Amino acid sequence: MEIPVIRDVLEESNALAKENRAAFDRHGVFVVNIMSSPGSGKTTLLQKTIPILKARGISCAVIEGDVSSTLDSERLAPLGIPVIQANTEPFGGDCHLGSHMVQAALKYLDLPSIEILFIENIGNLVCPAEFYLGENRKVMMLSLTEGEDKPTKYPLMFRECQVCLLSKMDLAPHLDINLDLLESNIQKVNSAMRILPISAKTGEGLMAWLDWLVNER
Amino acid sequence: MHELYIAECIVKSVNSSLPRNVAPTLVTQVRVQVGQLDAVVPETLKFSFDAIKQSCGMPRAELLIKEIAVRCRCRDCAHEFGIDLPVFICPACNRGDVEVLQGRGITLTRIIADEPEGETHGNTSYS
Ligand SMILES: Nc1nc2c(ncn2[C@@H]2O[C@H](COP(=O)(O)OP(=O)(O)OP(=O)(O)O)[C@@H](O)[C@H]2O)c(=O)[nH]1
Ligand SMILES: [Mg+2]
Ligand SMILES: [Zn+2]
């Protein structure tokens, strides 16, 4: 027998994401899903960003995605904000955060007291792009050492995100990277992408990033 | 390797699409469409599905994957076009405000299963 169906395979995953979003909206939490290759600088950027937001009276929290370790959470602990570690290992060691994992993490967060929730996704330029978690904005980071060809090689990530943070700008003088080529490659894949060059090390571009966050909220 | 996760999602989708009298063990074929924009490697997805189907109670199910090419529409001039390379620029007006119509997402399209025992002569009841 043939059973014809037309069904989105990620239906259940998306339904959970919508539940997450409803909870965020109910409590006025602005949620940013940050994605990149391993080591582009996601945790370092959060270490720089959150103290400034805190000083401006904006309360933050972080869901830290990692396959198994708690190293990134430990780095964020001194910030004195809620940091929930979401490890995919008990869920099968996935290379991306799933909406069910965000939902599990929400049990440990007091949403009414949070204004901006950052989700640091698992370091991976492919898999996290596929899955909606309930976030308001998807932001990706590409460090200058990764090369100009990445938009063409990982188009889904560049299509899905509203902002591309070009990180480690302080390294530009030491690299052969052609920034114009990189920007034009990004625009070929996503002409609406907002490109923000930053360096967590020197502080370059941090204010533009903060302005974006505060304005989008 | 999100293909394993997607394979699990396919199994769940199949299970919840089966009529009540059709056990998962009867499923012989599962067809899905995968958009080319999705970062899914068909061979890896098939491999993942085969790896879990036994423990998911669908040992005989074969996964057939059809890749769907990317089709876009320009929001400026309404031109529709397909793309082979990930360049989302309208060939008619050269602008990049482009909407993806097709080629993103994973859809379950068909399940083929053996007829349930005792119901091969229609649903006639003799009692
Ligand atoms: N030069 C330079 N190095 C940076 C910058 N930002 C981060 N790094 C370095 O890059 C390395 C990786 O940074 P992380 O913040 O751990 O990167 P991540 O994206 O959180 O990594 P994963 O969570 O493992 O995916 C560290 O050694 C940082 O010190 C920067 O702006 N400039
Ligand atoms: Mg990190
Ligand atoms: Zn056009």
Give the strands of the sheet with B106-113, arranged side by side: A2-8, B106-113, B27-35, B62-68
Name the residue among A122, A175, A110, A129 with its Cα closest to residue A148.
A175
Domain limits, chain A: 2-216
Pairing of strands B80-83, B70-74: antiparallel
Reported as a single tens digit per residue, the pLDDT across A99-131 is 999 999 999 999 999 999 999 999 999 999 999
Q: Could you give the CA distance from residue A50 to residue A60 in angstroms, rounded to a whole number?
A: 7
Q: Please give, rounded to a whole number of angstroms, the shortest distance from the CA of B127 to a CA of chain A.
A: 25
Chain B residues 63-92 within an 8 A CB cutoff of chain A: 85-89
Mean pLDDT for A47-72 is 94
- Among A1, A9, A96, beta carbon nearest to B32: A9
Shortest distance between the Cα of B47 and any Cα of chain A, in A, equals 16
Point out the least confidently predicted range of A16-25, A153-162, A184-193, B114-123.
B114-123
Q: What is the distance, to the nearest Å, from the Cα of residue A168 to the centroid of all Cα atoms in its chain?
A: 17
Atom 7 in ligand 1: residue holding the nearest Cα: A41
Cα(B76) to centroid of ligand 3, in Å? 5
Q: What is the pLDDT along chain B (127 residues), one digit of tens a residue?
A: 689 999 999 999 999 999 999 999 999 999 999 999 998 999 999 999 999 999 999 999 999 999 999 999 999 999 999 999 999 999 999 999 999 999 999 999 999 999 988 755 555 444 3
Q: State residue B127's pLDDT score.
A: 39
**CATH code at position B57:** 3.30.2320.80
Q: pLDDT value at position A90? A: 72
- CB–CB of A2 and B111 under 8 A? yes
pLDDT at position A87, please?
84
Asked if A204 and A169 count as a contact pair (C-beta separation under 8 A), the reply is yes
CATH 3.40.50.300 for domain A2-216, yes or no, is yes
Mean pLDDT, range A185-208, rounded to an integer = 97
Q: Give the range of the structural domain holding residue B64, as residue numbers without chain letter.
A: 3-126
Q: Using 50, 70 and 90 to split pLDDT, how confident is the model at A185?
A: very high
What is the number of structural domains in chain B? 1
3-state secondary structure B23-68: CHHHEEEEEEEEECCCCCCHHHHHHHHHHHHCCCCCCCCEEEEEEE
Spatial distance between the Cα atoms of B117 and B24, rounded to a whole number of angstroms? 13
CA of A204 relative to ligand 1 center, distance in Å: 15
- The ligand 1 atom nearest the CA atom of A66: 23
SS (H, E, C) B88-103: CCCCCCCCCCEEEEEC
Q: What is the pLDDT of residue B124?
A: 46
| Contact indicator for A122, A67 with CB cutoff of 8 Å | yes
Instruction: Give the residue on B whose Cα is nearest the Cα of A2.
Output: B112
Lowest average pLDDT, out of A38-47, A127-136, A184-193, B113-122, goes to: B113-122
Residue A198 above 60 pLDDT? yes
Residue A47 has pLDDT above 80, yes or no: yes
> Which helix (H) or strand (E) covers residue A211, if one does?
helix A206-216
Q: What is the pLDDT of residue B125?
A: 44
Question: A5–B88: do the CB atoms touch at under 8 Å?
Answer: no
